[in-house]
Structure 1
Amino acid sequence: MNIGSFGFPADQLVKLEKMLKLSKNNRYALTEFNPENLPDLLLIFGMENLQAEPIAALPRGYQSRLIVVSKAKPSDSTYSHLGYPLVSSRVVRTLDQMTSENEEYGATNPEPDDADNENLFSKYEEQAETAHRLAAEAKNDRTGYCVLVVDDSAPMQQALAGELEKLPLPVSIDFADDGESALKKVADNHYDFLFLDIVMPGIDGFETCTRMRERSDMKKTPIIMLSSKNSPLDEVKGIMAGCSTYLTKPINPDEFQKVINRVSNWVDEFKKE
């Protein structure tokens, strides 16, 4: 299933591609937008891009396949909506809901006529509205967290993202491959907590943690350091650098959930202050 994108910043495209890989059977492929060969669904970053010439020129019947990624929901209910910042579970769930109807329909009606297409598009709209309502209800009942994962291993990034997605709350995840990139991320964004690998290209995790703690806005931010070896010396160096707690790789799911529950409680307490 081809998922197109339009107007996304480079870092959000990288994040979106990683989110799509979390879907069952890896069923979604992120493709470049091509008006001559339209994707199955098209994600548009920001409501202002709906007025961009290539998007405004799309066939009217294709509008129900557009998904607007923005903080506010579009006033025109023709368009489906994904809240920003993106959350992996919400992205995959919305795509699954919108494509399942299409797959079922395509299996029994390989060549639908225009009237059937209009009916199908209406079903898409109703389905998307239900998804939006459920997402809004969940948002009102829960507190979401923004998390930064700093690790140069893609499998490790995915493993942490998978564990975070198990939490009963919305989580928005950013990734950095090295310490320098992580420092730029925390300068431009607010994170409720972050995971920080010790061994990375360039500056290591200890130095990265020390520099982060020098920022006034990160004095209390929980920093969870990651190491592939259970070394008391690493733990001492991590504490001296300012880390909040410690996890050993590979990640043990039970231990991860214990640590993340404790960290979540810290974050909740900080927000109350």
Structure 2
Amino acid sequence: MQIGSIGFPEDQRVKLEKIFKLSKQTRYTLVDPDFDNLPDLMLVFGFDLDEHPELANLPSGYHSRLILVGRGRPHDKSYTCLGYPLVSSRVLRTLDSVTRENEEMECATPQTDEENRFSKYDDISPEAETLPSSRSGFNVLVVDDNEIMQQALDAELQLLPLPVSVHFAATGEEALEKVAAHSYDFIFLDVVMPGIDGFETCAEMRKHPDLKKTPIIMLTSKTSPMDEVKGIMSGCSTYLTKPIEHEEFQKVISRVSNWVDEFQKA
């Protein structure tokens, strides 16, 4: 997993590199920040983001990947923070906590693949939303144990300009059976369900070669930095917050459907 850093004194960057080498299986790698190809997580030195103008143009969804490093607590408690001075055990424990503690490396490998980056659809240009489609329709799986939510999603999907065939599953286990038996263009997956949760279900789906590029949209009643990082690690593509808002849903689904057309033809 690539970890970027912003604003760190050189001696503290060297210390971070040494700390990362202590991680089990060397799962963390410190990299120079590349704003054209953002790392999986970003450590920011200090609690005042205004002191780092390079962060001003980050995609809104990426802010959940920032970990602020400083003394005390930041005013904005929506960010994950890490105490300073840096202590090896505390640094690794914090990183592990936001990337699913004790997660096996073989699960992390496909989840950090460029094709499964969180909110990749945010970078699709507005012009792409109007591209003509060469397909006749979409096959969609909705995984949610709430029938009202199933109906709401079905109603929104039927507003797409192409026919949509929707299958439903109420549990993660049922969803895994569905994807084993059918091919889907994209999947909506609730986080909280009876049995295995959405994160585990998503991770299991990503183990299927045929689902490597399939957009998986996580559904949640609220998002937190922890939830969104868990989504990254499990392999989800983006989030939608419940209750579903019509404009946001149509914006996301338009981009997702065009991504399917452009990149999944092969």
What TM-score do the two structures reach when normalised by structure 1? Answer: 0.48
What TM-score do the two structures reach when normalised by structure 2? Answer: 0.49
Q: Which has the higher contact order (CA 8 A, sep 6+)?
A: 2
